[in-house]
Homo-oligomer: A and B are copies of this chain.
Amino acid sequence: MQEIKGPSFFIGKDSEELISFGSGQPDLPPPEEVYQILPTYRDFKYGLIQGQERLRQALTAQYPKSSKEQFVVTNGASEALDLTLRALFEPGAKILLPTPYYYSYPYIVKFAHMEPVYYEQDKGKIVFDDFKQKVKGCKAVVINSPSNPTGTVQNLETLKKIEKLTKELGVWVISDEVYKDLIYVRENYLIKGKHVLTLNSFSKTYAMCGFRIGYLYARDVDVINRVIEIKTHVSMNTNILGQDMAFEATKVPREFIDSQTKVWKSRRNLIYEGMKDLGLDLWKPEGAFYVFPEMKNPSKVVSDLYHLYNIIVYNGAWFGDPTRVRFSYALDEEKIVEGLRRVKEYMGKEYKEN
């Protein structure tokens, strides 16, 4: 069977029988409130490049002491990262990334004409001594807690040490906190400082992936202005209706998020225990919606599970760890159970002979 080279192989594949542990998108819908503005909506003109004022104003509630001037609304957190890196561009600059990493990071760095370098993680946790060495001389470092693909949340102590060290060294911290509301072990810790550039989006918290509403939050006015300048030319305002829908989401009571997190946590327990029962080596996810078990020959696992068992999983190699497989648990418990049943069958047969 042919090797499956990346997540894009699976796009558009769908059937009744298929169980997808692949794509990292919530299956639960956004709050109903975001659709309530649609029936009477009639706007059509350009919006502010920086993003609609009332949306940015609403976002300040989530970031202590922030002001609406410190936000830029973007086409998802992806564009926020792309614009931020383009704003930071310097010839020959190095951008320090975690490994394993969200699979787009190295690409976005290269498309911004800079060089990705990597810091180590042990079972998804930052190895601070390694980090300390690698960060010197870098232009910026990306922190992603909670993490895709590891499902880990970094220790508070580590995050605070990183905050301090990068400040001393004058290295920008790009903190990708898109999973900040999907966290099971503690409150999210917002990495702080004038040298911190925070990325977030409405995709995970409010299940609004398809609408592509993300943002950059930064206290540094020069970075904000540079990002706005680039966006003015390369994409202009973010879809006005998506922004209005996102604004409605900001008004939804906190209970919406809490009730979602309850569902995620229950699924997390189900898949984690299920995998332990299968004898797989993995750590218990603390946030986001991924488990990341070690498996023999992940490339073959991805191919076998798809072709023989109608299951989509992602190769850890796509995220920089060729010894593991990523399972997203953004699907019904019923499907998780059936998926685990098939994985068990596979492990008793083809996997054993692997």
Instruction: State which size class the interface on A falls in.
Output: 35 or more
Rounded to whole angstroms, the CA-CA distance of A46 and B210 in the bound complex is 4
Name the distance in Å between A327's Cβ and chain B's nearest Cβ: 18
A–B complex contacts, Cβ < 8 Å, 16 sampled? A11-B48, A25-B45, A44-B208, A44-B209, A75-B238, A75-B239, A76-B235, A78-B234, A82-B235, A86-B111, A107-B232, A111-B234, A212-B239, A235-B235, A239-B239, A239-B242
Given contacts A81-B234, A107-B229, A210-B237, 20 further A-B pairs with CB under 8 A are A8-B232, A43-B210, A44-B208, A46-B209, A47-B210, A75-B235, A76-B235, A76-B236, A78-B236, A79-B234, A104-B232, A107-B232, A108-B233, A111-B230, A210-B240, A211-B239, A239-B239, A239-B241, A241-B242, A242-B242
What B residues does A76 contact at CB under 8 A?
Answer: 235-236
Partner-binding segment picked from A34-42, A161-169, A173-181, A336-344: A34-42
Residue A60 interfacial (CB < 8 Å): no
Rounded to whole angstroms, the CA-CA distance of A111 and B209 in the bound complex is 27
Question: Interface on chain A toward B: helix, strand, loop, or mixed SS?
Answer: loop
Q: Which of B35, B229, B234 is in CB contact (< 8 Å) with A42? A: B35
1/0 contact trace for A189-227 toward B, CB 8 Å? 000000000000000000111111000000000000000
Residue A23 interfacial (CB < 8 Å): yes
Rounded to whole angstroms, the CA-CA distance of A208 and B239 in the bound complex is 10
Name the distance in Å between A40's Cβ and chain B's nearest Cβ: 9
Residue A253 interfacial (CB < 8 Å): no
Q: List the 6 closest pairs (A to B, CB-CB), nearest first.
A: A210-B240, A38-B38, A104-B233, A82-B234, A239-B239, A107-B233
Chain B residue nearest in CB terms to A245: B241
Rounded to whole angstroms, the CA-CA distance of A174 and B80 in the bound complex is 26
Instruction: Tell me which residues from 28 to 64 in chain A have a Cβ below 8 Å from any Cβ of chain B.
Output: 29-30, 35, 38-39, 41-49
Residue A136 interfacial (CB < 8 Å): no
Residue A12 interfacial (CB < 8 Å): yes
Rounded to whole angstroms, the CA-CA distance of A25 and B104 in the bound complex is 34
What B residues does A240 contact at CB under 8 A?
Answer: 210-211
What B residues does A11 contact at CB under 8 A?
Answer: 48-49
Contact A207 B78 (CB under 8 A): no
Residue A125 interfacial (CB < 8 Å): no
Rounded to whole angstroms, the CA-CA distance of A35 and B35 in the bound complex is 13
Residue A113 interfacial (CB < 8 Å): yes
Contact A44 B23 (CB under 8 A): no
What B residues does A211 contact at CB under 8 A?
Answer: 44, 239-241
